[in-house]
Amino acid sequence: MGTIRTTPRTSGSVLPGLAVVGAGVTIAMVVSLVQPSVSALTVAVLLGAVVANVVTLPASAGPGIRLAGRRLLRLGVVLLGLKLVFQDVLKLGYEVLVLAVVAVVVTFVVTRWLGRVLGVGEGLSLLIATGFSICGASAVAAMNSVREQDEQDVAKALGLVTLFGTVAMFGLPALHPLTGLSSAQYGVWAGGSVHEVAQVVAAAGPVSGALAIAVAVKLTRVVLLAPMLAAVSFAERLKYPATGRRPPLVPLFVLGFLAMAAVRATGLVPDAVLSAATFVDTVLLAAGMFALGTAVRLRSLARSGPAVLLLGLLSTVLIVVVVLTGTVLIG
């Protein structure tokens, strides 16, 4: 990570940092095991932020933390494809699928526009728009892998996803009795609005019959991560046609994500393999989240100003209102 002084790359230089990351991941997994409604990824980000703001990390930890925040995180995004069940998504009906696509596109585009209006940096608004429209911290990290931003912008985006995703996680169940939505409709609303997959589970859990629908809708949004990353990568190639900065048209980890989704769609993967892959994926993503969390500086987030916080709030309200309106219209 950029703010951590690193030692020269040697064969064993990653071990101190990976030990720190491993300890953070272990704690995050235990917390999630004891309290299933709490995402291990969210805990990992928070732990990384606590470590960064309370403890002075040694320079020797830099290479290992950087490895976790990049390569391990990309491997986690690849395995995330195994969680997608296209058959369940298709069972929702075309109206819900269209709503999910519209919500993602509208939230992404309008958030980018609001970022310009509010004077938020282009890179930061891109990360916020991606995370809030698709799948939270994982989407922020994946977008940063395609178009690498300033470390502090990544930290701010992760902090905002955690903050406003948590607000939505508790807010939607509280608002449900006031909306008049059925359990199935509430599942669509929760799955289409809340940022993190685990936050969707926590938001839909209290309403009987909503959870399965909420997860399927959320995974529909996750599917859109790959084309969005590919689109941004293509735009980067057009922007830098004659320099060495051109990224691949479709990043390898995006192709891996799609390949894993295709493998899952065959129905040939044994349940035991899926369970193991899900556990490994959670560990890898938690490692990446912890590493990215170490870049979170509370003072920096506080100094980011009201415009950044307002952008996070408006983006959250936007997707909540768009999905609620669409759910009501669909009936």
3-state secondary structure of 139: helix
Q: What is the band of 12 on the pLDDT scale with cuts at 50, 70, 90?
A: low
Tens digits of residue pLDDT in 193-220? 998 776 787 788 778 878 778 877 887 8
Count of structural domains within the chain? 1
Domain-embedded: residue 179: yes
Question: Per mean pLDDT, which range of 112-116, 206-210, 227-231 is the poorest?
Answer: 206-210
Task: Provide the whole-model pTM.
Answer: 0.69
State the DSSP H helix or E strand holding residue 283, giving kind and residue range, or none if neither. Answer: helix 271-293
Tens digits of residue pLDDT in 157-191? 888 887 788 788 889 989 999 999 998 899 999 99
Tens digits of residue pLDDT in 77-89? 788 778 766 666 6
Identify the pLDDT of residue 292. 73
Domain-embedded: residue 157: yes
Domain-embedded: residue 5: no
Q: Can you tell me the mean pLDDT for 250-272? A: 81
Q: Which string of b and e fits 91-117 if b means at least 16 CB within 10 Å? A: ebeeebbebbeebbebbbebbbebbee
Work out the angle between the directed axes of helices 122-133 and 306-330 (0-180°, nearest 10): 30
Rounded Cα distance between 254 and 65, Å, is 22
Residues spanned by the domain of 140:
15-330
Domain-embedded: residue 56: yes
Rounded Cα distance between 217 and 98, Å, is 11
Rounded Cα distance between 40 and 26, Å, is 9
- Six-digit token string for 161: 């996803």
Domain-embedded: residue 9: no
Domain-embedded: residue 243: yes
- Six-digit token string for 128: 């916020």
pLDDT reading at 142 higher than 90? no
Domain-embedded: residue 102: yes
CB 44 within 8 A of CB 24: yes
Separation in Å, CA 19 to CA 14, 23, 290: 9, 6, 12
pLDDT reading at 311 higher than 90? yes
Domain-embedded: residue 4: no
